[in-house]
Chain A
């Protein structure tokens, strides 16, 4: 398959950036979107041009490194996949494909398609954990967790921290990401002790990082590669109100 590409190129944080047109030829329909970019990059290097910089690592949808807005959608067309899981067979031969980085104030662009998402780590560091010191814990089966709670916690915990929810949101809100962590821990008996402090600190840090508010747009859920449900945002809100009033 052959494709025309419009790719965002930006030298560094301070550069203004622009779209540049490219062409790639003879791409296997089974190739992934990132493998298509690999082919482009080998070509570029051979011509002495700088390859397109993009984040990626596991290439199987779990590390959360990759993240491109493809044809206007976070992680491209298709539901429940990360950019690395996007396959070229889903595009039409000859089609023009537009690829840009996540756009959000809290995710400064470092180069081309790479952004800095460390704001998400700082939200976790503010309180996204259970304070259990190494060694100072009870026997594992002394804590019973009802299966439905365990399952729902697992749904929430499967967030890969990619930031697509932020990129998809018109307000650049990180609510789905924060909700996934708050919900995961609040659902488990082990996580209940610190639940109030946790939600307050994480929300405080989220605001400090400049993420926007949630206006129930639900674009986050639609683009989340792990299909994290917005019902977790509802739980986050409940947790927050509970913590505020007590």
Chain B
């Protein structure tokens, strides 16, 4: 496989402009003759479908949700970045670019990151025009806050519901196109396969989740905007249905999968309560602006928080990182929390938690200010734990939250399969080994509103298409493959539920491929995952029928894919003999316990190529060159 990142020539600040000028255009009258399939209606998919529809393309969009507005982007809380410099605190495109490359621990492509920083301002303009009710100051201008890992205030937010408001904005733009007839939305459809014709992505196979019918659709190009794969770990902050099936099946058809081991563990989540628990809940990182993290200085201290005097508390982030304090990037904050708990300083019934304390802020700013800033988060915490965070500190613990890895894409967001584009969290592009807060929303919308409308046009205008119909052989074959797979799943009739397999996989992943990874653990995971997978295919129990609504069948397909993806994730983690960002190999750290990169050996994107289930994938490397931001040891001291 040849990886061509197609990064335009020229100085970094000119690349995108000159590329836009050099791209071919589709004649306006011809646009409606091209159909484009968009899978997913989160921020990336909805913004892409709406913008492509506005241009006049014939867009077909699919989601397993009932409505586009239910995509998991809706759950994002904290905010979205843009270097508007409204705070007049020295922000600029360059600074956002620099912060993102550094924050990603020098494992992202400079050209992509620069473009992201460049278009991010337009995203805010777009959202405001749509009526997104961002927070405002008393003069009626937009308000900003600083957000994990940044020293400037560049984060725009809508209370603790930024993702919801941005998605509703994109959903409204999409709805307008649905009304105009340029976009057709297919609800409750799960895409299960990409259809290739002469090596080009020309369609998809979907299952109608209401009738169980297997359907095929043809188009000139396919866009996957299907979100991340953090649910490989079972417990995560993802929605229950979030899954990797779309990108995983594309991988098995030849799309390279980049940096699967780059997963993000978010430091501030509500700790797990018991075995019944079905998911973990994030407490926005914005809380770290006003909350102070601490543990008792004494190991195994079982006193209530309010009985531990000030001098017996260890505000360890403030102690270790005097300049960033509680605002160090996520990977650092998570690792330090785990370290504290591993050493025996953890608090709460399970000792797997640290305190996040607002007492001082409430005293300094007043309860009403804290309520205005974080009211809904405090309520959520209260609801879940039955403890009032206005009265005592929250207990928090890290949880799997986001996946930086994903399908490999070039500068145009096209995968290694011609005509298959990948947007949003589903691709690997901009965050390197660690994503900074408030930059996933930015990336999803940048991809959808401001990149794909151009690069898609270029692809369509410069590609020869042979006419295809859904009764052509490749479609019938792909459909038959999916029908066979479903039949097989339904007929195993074993003893263990899908849920049990998923939980078991999650435990293997969290214990061995989670926050701290080492050779022995990873090798263990690489033995256990194939064993569990083999058991799954002999012993999974499904009920009901396939030509009906069947949630168990839906989940079985997704868990089957996680059981393969988990192995690739562990494999990638084992191969990457360095620590960088969210990928922490316990063998590789500095004296101070920070991640130790090995730029000589690992300054590349690992793009894996499928060779068969259970077979060693082929490693393709895209070397990373840093011309503008010189790699250094990240320091937040």
Contact = CB atoms under 8 A, between A and B. Distances in A.
Contact of B133 (A51, A64, A120, A153): A153
A185 interface: yes
A190 B74 CA distance: 22
Interface stretch (A26-34, A214-222, A234-242): A26-34
A246 interface: no
Contacts, number: 222
Nearest to A50: B544
A90 B617 CA distance: 51
Given A49-B543, A51-B543, A61 B380 contact: yes
Contact of A132 (B130, B137, B161): B130
B159 A154 contact: yes
Interface stretch (B270-278, B293-301, B423-431, B580-588): B270-278
A95 interface: no
B549 interface: yes
A245 interface: no
A233 to B, nearest CB: 19
A130 B450 CA distance: 19
B125 interface: yes
Interface string A148-178: 0010011001101100000000000000000
A190 B187 contact: no
A133 B495 CA distance: 53
Interface in B499-526: 499-500
Contact of A118 (B66, B137, B142, B276): B66
A184 B131 contact: yes
Contacts of B273: 28, 30
A9 to B, nearest CB: 12
Interface in B265-311: 273-274, 276-279, 281
Contact of A130 (B130, B210, B499, B548): B130
Interface residues of B, number: 83
Nearest to A87: B383
Which of B131, B499, B500 is the most central at the interface, judged by chain A CB atoms within 10 Å of its CB?
A: B131
A69 B68 CA distance: 24
A129 interface: yes
Which of A44, A59, A80, A134 is the most central at the interface, judged by chain B CB atoms within 10 Å of its CB?
A: A134
B70 interface: yes
Contacts of A35: 276-278
A160 B273 CA distance: 27
A150 B178 contact: no
Interface string B404-439: 000000000000000000000000000000000000
Interface in A36-51: 38-39, 41-42, 44-46, 48-51
B65 A57 contact: yes
A48 B543 contact: yes
Nearest to B449: A134
Nearest to B135: A150
A119 to B, nearest CB: 10
Nearest to B128: A140
Contacts of B278: 32, 34-35, 38, 59
A48 B161 CA distance: 41
A157 B127 CA distance: 14
B445 to A, nearest CB: 10
A63 B239 contact: yes
A11 B212 CA distance: 14
B1 interface: no
A62 interface: yes
A73 interface: no
A101 interface: no
Interface stretch (B147-155, B167-175, B329-337): B167-175
A78 to B, nearest CB: 9
Nearest to A120: B67
Given A125-B178, A144-B139, A190-B128, A150 B172 contact: no
A81 interface: yes
Contacts of B138: 147
Contact of A63 (B74, B130, B173, B543): B74
A55 B66 CA distance: 9
A56 interface: yes
A141 B142 contact: yes
Interface in B60-92: 65-72, 74-75, 84, 86
Contacts of A190: 128-131
B239 A125 contact: no
A138 B67 contact: no
A106 interface: no
Contacts of B50: 134
A103 interface: no
Contacts of B603: none
Contacts of A11: 548
A127 B175 CA distance: 8
A111 B66 CA distance: 14
Contacts of A63: 69-72, 74-75, 239
Interface of B: 47, 50-51, 54, 65-72, 74-75, 84, 86, 121-122, 124-131, 133-142, 158-159, 161, 164-165, 168, 171-173, 175-176, 178-179, 185, 187, 210, 239-241, 273-274, 276-279, 281, 379-380, 383-386, 449-450, 453, 495, 497, 499-500, 541-544, 548-549, 551-552
Given A146-B140, A190-B129, 11 more contacts: A34-B278, A46-B495, A53-B549, A87-B383, A121-B175, A124-B172, A127-B179, A129-B173, A145-B133, A150-B140, A158-B164
